[in-house]
Amino acid sequence: MSDPREALAGQLAEAVASALAEDLRHQPRALLVVSGGSTPVAFFRALAATPLEWARVDVTLADERWVEESDSDSNARLVREELLQHEAAAARFVGLKTAAGTPEEGAEEAAARLEALAWPASVVVLGMGTDGHTASIFADSPELELALATRDPLVAVRAPSQRQPRITLSADRLHRARRHFLHITGDAKRDVLARALPGDDARELPIRAFLACPLAIYWAP
């Protein structure tokens, strides 16, 4: 039997590519918002190998750690190394990290970059941590209420549970997409999602902010 996580990544890549192709039939460019972390690597590799009019695709991130792109924790680095390859090398990537020293100082420039993109996004692919966070919307961050409520596109985040400051697309901006996918693997994340589904307090489990809209859940053991 094939590796279930590889198979899941392939199925997700197929669904995302087909959504992008569908939107490209009636608009000049399509926007794809992806998450970082470890889960998306197999998905990025599968998507990068998929034929598509990539030169008409913009890619940005749901969130970023405020680290240099040379840092192994950089989500931009992950996207460049794993997604913007092969067929997908022609896509245009717009990162969230700027030259500013802090996400608070860099948020305005990053927001201006986002405003130049064609919203609504065609697809947002969310991830989720075992603490129920998604993007960089963390239950323990002082910016939690802001990230869930603001109409601003970005929020600078300093969560005590995280080593680095971060920047995240707000829940409102992440909602501005035609299609939402959640990509998770493993029993621990399945159990967190099972706990999140019957409740509605996104301050406890931020993933709940995305359970009230259509969300295609891609899970494998």
Ligand X SMILES: O=C1O[C@H](COP(=O)(O)O)[C@@H](O)[C@H](O)[C@H]1O
Q: CB 187 → ligand X: shortest distance, Å?
A: 13
Q: CB 53 → ligand X: shortest distance, Å?
A: 26
153: nearest Cα among 169, 177, 175: 169
The 3-state DSSP class for residue 179 equals strand
- Region binding ligand X by CB under 6 A among candidate stretches 31-39, 90-98, 110-118, 153-161: 31-39
80: nearest Cα among 64, 100, 56, 104: 64
Chosen residue from 10, 103, 106, 127 binding ligand X by CB under 6 A: 127
According to CB under 6 A, which residues from 56 to 75 bind ligand X?
62-63, 75
36 is a contact residue toward ligand X (CB under 6 A): yes
Q: Show the binding pattern over residues 135-164: x = contacts ligand X (CB under 6 A), - = does not.
A: xx----------------------------
Kindly compute the dihedral angle of the four CA atoms of residues 31, 192, 187, 76, in this order, to the nearest 10 degrees: 30
Phi and psi, residue 154, nearest 5°? -130, 150
88: nearest Cα among 29, 48, 45: 48
Chosen residue from 25, 26, 38, 221 binding ligand X by CB under 6 A: 38
Regarding beta strands 216-220 and 177-185, do their DSSP bridges make them parallel or antiparallel, or are they unpaired? Answer: parallel
39 is a contact residue toward ligand X (CB under 6 A): yes
Q: CB 162 → ligand X: shortest distance, Å?
A: 7
Give Cα 12 distance to the centre of its chain: 14
Per CB under 6 A, residues contacting ligand X are 35-39, 62-63, 75, 127-129, 135-136
